[in-house]
């Protein structure tokens, strides 16, 4: 493909100007990914560029960025001329494209985010059939893209857990072994403030609205009837 120009948002907490765009010229090939372009910038233009990446195979969820405003795994998205690469939104930034995941997990820890069983199974291995929603939900890579695409989520506001929070609860809600009331937890997490706008996107293809948001809202609607 040859040389293209790419814009990257730089965030520097130690510098005078905290946020600005830098433009880089990089030579790429037709199938080059966003990650390859970032690596090239890092290797040949500016080794102070901070970004995260792990497995190169859409498994670890580390390399997620906004590409022209849409969340994408950098390792799987193709780079295009004049692309604009920015960090995910609504999250605490550390530097350039790197954000802090820690506060979300500390927040989540309050909801006992693990399978809580009433009693151990009678026999091993136990016979178990999970509903199909469960395995879909378990493919969540916790990449945080859904939080970036949610207009209501804000990492500073604890009263709303955001789509990722609801996914983590839904994983347990659909798990036949778990005995806690995850629906009430979804209310505590502020799901009633969800605008049901379907803006939240999951890169891994989990139908968030269909198997997370709507079912929780419906169950809460029913719950408030009696």
* Interaction between residue 107 and another protein (CB under 8 A): no
8 φ/ψ angles, rounded to the nearest 5 degrees: -125, 135
Residues 138-167 interacting with another protein (rule: CB under 8 A) = 138-139, 141-142
Structure tokens at 13: 């907490």
Instruction: Quickly tell me which residue has 């350039």 as its tokens.
Output: 96
| First and final C-alpha spacing in the chain | 63
* CA–CA separation, 62 and 74 (whole Å): 9
Binds another protein by CB under 8 A, chosen from 27, 68, 135, 198: 135
- Is 133 a binding residue for another protein by CB under 8 A? The answer is no
In the complex, least distance from residue 112 CB atom to another protein, rounded to whole angstroms: 7
CA pair distance 114, 131, nearest whole angstrom: 18
Query: Contact region for another protein (CB under 8 A) — 133-141, 149-157, 188-196, 213-221?
Result: 133-141
Residue written as token pair 């927040």:
107
Residues lying near another protein in the complex (CB under 8 A) are found at 12-14, 31, 33, 42-43, 47-51, 53-62, 76, 78, 94-96, 98, 100-102, 109, 112-115, 120-121, 124-130, 134-135, 138-139, 141-142, 175, 177
């Amino acid at each position: 493909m040859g040389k293209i120009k790419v814009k990257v948002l730089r965030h520097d907490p130690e510098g005078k100007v905290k946020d600005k765009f830098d433009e880089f010229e990089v030579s790429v090939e037709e199938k080059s990914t966003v990650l390859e372009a970032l690596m090239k910038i890092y290797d040949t233009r500016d080794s102070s560029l901070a970004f995260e990446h792990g497995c190169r195979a859409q498994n670890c969820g580390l390399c997620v960025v906004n590409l022209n405003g849409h969340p994408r795994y950098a390792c799987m998205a193709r780079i295009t001329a004049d692309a604009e690469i920015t960090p995910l939104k609504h999250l605490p930034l550390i530097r350039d494209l790197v954000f802090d995941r820690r506060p979300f997990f500390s927040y989540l820890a309050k909801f006992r985010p693990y399978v809580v069983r009433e009693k151990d199974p009678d026999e091993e291995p136990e016979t178990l059939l999970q509903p199909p929603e469960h395995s879909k939900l378990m493919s969540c890579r916790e990449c945080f893209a859904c939080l970036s695409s949610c207009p209501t989520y804000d990492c500073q506001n604890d009263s709303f857990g955001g789509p990722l929070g609801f996914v983590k609860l839904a994983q347990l809600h659909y798990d036949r072994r778990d005995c806690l009331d995850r629906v009430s937890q979804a209310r505590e997490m502020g799901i009633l403030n969800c605008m049901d706008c379907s803006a939240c996107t999951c890169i891994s293809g989990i139908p968030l609205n269909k198997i997370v948001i709507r079912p929780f809202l419906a169950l809460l609607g029913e719950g408030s009837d009696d």
